[in-house]
Amino acid sequence: MHDDLLEILCCPLCKADLTLKVTKREKGEIEEGTLTCTKCATVFPIEEGIPNLLPPGERD
């Protein structure tokens, strides 16, 4: 995931902004981390460079 993708992403549940926490970066891209909603505090994981924006109850 590229950092500038954060500019166009929002929480799929309440449409608020997301904050980014990076735990692994490789070749300038975010490989692992989390996106957290600034309003409802739902946390969405980033795994293998892909943000999972499914609601928590619908993730595998």
DSSP one-letter string for 7-55: GT---TTT---EEEEEEEEETTEEEEEEEEETTT--EEEEETTEE--S-
pLDDT of residue 60: 74
Fold of 3-51: N-terminal domain of TfIIb (2.20.25)
The model's pTM is 0.92
C-alpha 27/C-alpha 56 separation (Å) is 29
Residue 59: which pLDDT band, with cuts at 50, 70 and 90?
confident
pLDDT at 11: 97
Question: For residue 56, what are the β-bridge partners?
Answer: none
What are the structural domain ranges in the chain?
A: 3-51
* 15-57 pLDDT per residue, tens: 999 999 999 999 999 999 999 999 999 999 999 999 999 999 8
User: Which pLDDT score is estimated for 37?
Assistant: 98
Residue 29, pLDDT score: 96
